[in-house]
Every structure is written in C-alpha cells, then in structure tokens.
C-alpha cells in the first residue's frame, strides 16, 4: 500500500521529465509523501510494532533505510534514547532537537546565542538542516563513533546499498534526470519529517522537568503533542501526530492508535494542536523553567 505507489509515482515523474521538468516536479510531491510514509513504517519497525516480530521488523526497517537514507540500527538506538529521556532536562542531546532553557541561553556568549538562534531559524531547521541530516550526517555514525561495530556496520551497509540502487538508476536514465527527481523527493520528505518531529515536542504547553520531578508517564502525555491533522495527512504520516499516545506506549502499531482515541476519548485533548496552531510554534525556542512553558525569544527578553 505504500512501496508500490512510491515506485509508480517515482517512475511517472521520470517519464514526465521528458515532457518538461515542471510536469515531473508536480509528481515529485506525492512521491515525497509516500517516502515520508515509508519512513513512518521504518519508525514502527524500530519499535518492533509493525509486524510484532522483531526479526521481521528489523530486516524490513533495514531495507526501508536504503530508501529513506537512514541507517536503521543507528537510528533505532538514538530513537530509543529519545523515548527513554523525552522531556528530561538532564538528559537532552540524543535523538532530539536542541532546546535551551532561558538561563542557559543567557549564560551563552553573544556568538553562542547567535549560533542557537541560527540553528532554530526556520530556514535552517526545515531547509538546510534536513538536507544536512539525510544527505551528509547519516552517512557516518555521528554520536556513536565509539559504540562498537554495529553503528559502523549499519551505516556502511546502508551506504553501499544506497550507492548500488542509485548507480542502477543512473545507468538506466542518466545522472541529471536521477538527481532532478530524487533530490527534491528526499528534500521535501526530509523537511516534512523534521517538521513533524518538531511539532511533536516543540509546542507552548509541552513538558520539561528534572529528576526527581520527571516521571515517564506524565512526560509522555504532556511532553508530546496530539497533532490533529486532516484525514489524508494522518494517513500519509502514519498517525504519528498522535504522538502522546505513541510515547506513552511505543509498542502500539500506528494503525491501532486511532482505536486508542476512540476507546479513550479523554486522551484526545492532551497537547492538542491544529494545523493552524502549529505554525505559531516555530517562534517558541526557549524553555522557561519558571512558567514551565516554551516561549519565544521576545518573551524571554521582556521577562528579563
């Protein structure tokens, strides 16, 4: 239901390219949508919840990693740490978006503050950042260089498979047509994926705390959003918008999450954000430990 449409749209874009790039570019958008959904399937494989059989989930995730440009075993390890520590101020930095507290930002040098503002700028966060992440950073096991052989095996095997697939397509159609199709597909899907991950945790009423106040169930329900998307977007994103439920129990497969909300409607309003509401979250870049909410730089300055 996902891989076949992805291949068909990719092939249709390749054919349409012969009649004009803009025609092919229109087909790139749905192709990117199906690639995003493939990443969501890989995501569930990482949690062992897609098939429910670890070996089958792992090998499916590794195969999908070739298409999503994501070394499966490296990503799975980092993502597990993210789930174990989400919302914990003392355990930031692995598998999440860097978020400073107001006091940490003020303690930085002017250059450090500028670097943080640039990092959180929408052009970097949703443009340059995803391109760097999927095309460059994930080609080496950054952050896991000394974590044994598995991260290197995962990254190297994925890179080799990517090269073999890419070279086959380049041999069949040429390097320029391949890049004109696949590069925008990867960049659009990557930007959409980073946007989803951002909104899942970067919203005004999210939750951050330090031990012993930090508790996993509370952090899961209050530190992850319910991104209430329209039906077609819920399908293409694998219901990942129901992120508070996913963090509370990551072994629930994505296709069962709507059943949880149906059976427990009281959970629907936890961290609920509409598509329109989510646009305002981009300016929220600092955690205020006094008011316990995510605030903008302007609010931090006014508070000072």
State residue 259's pLDDT score: 96
State residue 303's pLDDT score: 73
Domain ranges of the chain: 3-303
58 pLDDT more than 60: yes
276 pLDDT more than 70: yes
**Least confident range of 18-27, 67-76, 78-87, 213-222:** 18-27
How many Å apart are CA 158 and CA 161, to the nearest integer? 5
110 pLDDT more than 70: yes
Q: Which residues of 17-49 are buried (b: 16+ CB within 10 A; e: fewer)?
A: beeeeeebeebbebbbbbbbbbbbbbbbbbbbb
State residue 93's pLDDT score: 75
Helix (H) or strand (E) holding 283: none
Contact 126, 195 (CB under 8 A): yes
How many Å apart are CA 86 and CA 217, to the nearest integer? 11
pLDDT tens sequence across 120-144 = 999 999 999 999 999 999 999 988 8
0.75 exceeded by pTM = yes
- Band (pLDDT 50/70/90 cuts) for residue 304 is low
Q: Which residues of 106-115 are buried (b: 16+ CB within 10 A; e: fewer)?
A: eeeeeeeeee
**Could you give the C-alpha distances from 9 to 5, 30, 237, in angstroms and in order?**
6, 7, 17
Q: Which of 234, 198, 247, 232 is nearest to 98 (CA)?
A: 198
State residue 144's pLDDT score: 84
DSSP output for 246-272: HHH-TTS-GGGHHHHHHH-GGGTTTTE
Q: Which residues of 75-102 are buried (b: 16+ CB within 10 A; e: fewer)?
A: bbbbbeebbebbbbbebbeebbbebbbb
Mean pLDDT for the stretch of residues 105-114 = 96
- Band (pLDDT 50/70/90 cuts) for residue 1 is confident
How many Å apart are CA 72 and CA 143, to the nearest integer? 15
How many Å apart are CA 89 and CA 99, to the nearest integer? 9
CA-based Rg of the chain, rounded to a whole angstrom? 20
């Amino acid at each position: 239901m996902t891989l076949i449409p992805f291949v068909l749209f990719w092939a249709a874009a390749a054919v349409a390219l012969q009649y004009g790039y803009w025609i092919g570019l229109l087909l790139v958008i749905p192709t990117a949508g199906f690639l995003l959904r493939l990443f969501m399937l890989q995501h569930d494989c990482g949690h062992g919840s897609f098939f429910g059989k670890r070996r089958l989930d792992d090998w499916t995730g590794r195969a999908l990693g070739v298409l999503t440009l994501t070394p499966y075993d490296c990503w799975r390890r980092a993502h597990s740490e993210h789930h174990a520590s989400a919302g914990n101020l003392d355990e930031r930095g692995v598998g999440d978006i860097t978020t400073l507290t107001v006091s940490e930002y003020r303690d930085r040098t002017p250059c450090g503050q500028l670097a943080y503002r640039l990092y959180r700028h929408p052009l970097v966060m949703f443009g340059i950042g995803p391109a760097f992440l999927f095309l460059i950073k994930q080609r080496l096991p950054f952050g896991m260089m000394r974590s044994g052989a598995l991260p290197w095996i995962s990254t190297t095997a994925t890179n080799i498979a990517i090269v073999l697939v890419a070279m086959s397509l380049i041999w069949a159609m040429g390097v320029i047509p391949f890049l004109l199709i696949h590069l925008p597909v990867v960049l659009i899907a990557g930007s959409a994926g980073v946007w989803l991950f951002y909104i899942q945790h970067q919203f005004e009423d999210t939750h951050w705390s330090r031990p012993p106040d930090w508790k996993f169930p509370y952090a899961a329900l209050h530190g992850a959003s319910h991104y209430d998307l329209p039906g077609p977007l819920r399908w293409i994103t694998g219901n990942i918008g129901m992120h508070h439920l996913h963090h509370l129990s990551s072994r629930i497969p994505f296709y069962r999450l709507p059943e949880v909300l149906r059976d427990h409607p009281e959970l629907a309003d936890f961290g609920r954000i509409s598509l329109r509401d989510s646009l305002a979250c981009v300016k929220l870049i600092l955690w205020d430990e006094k008011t316990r909410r995510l605030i903008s730089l302007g609010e931090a300055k006014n508070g000072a």
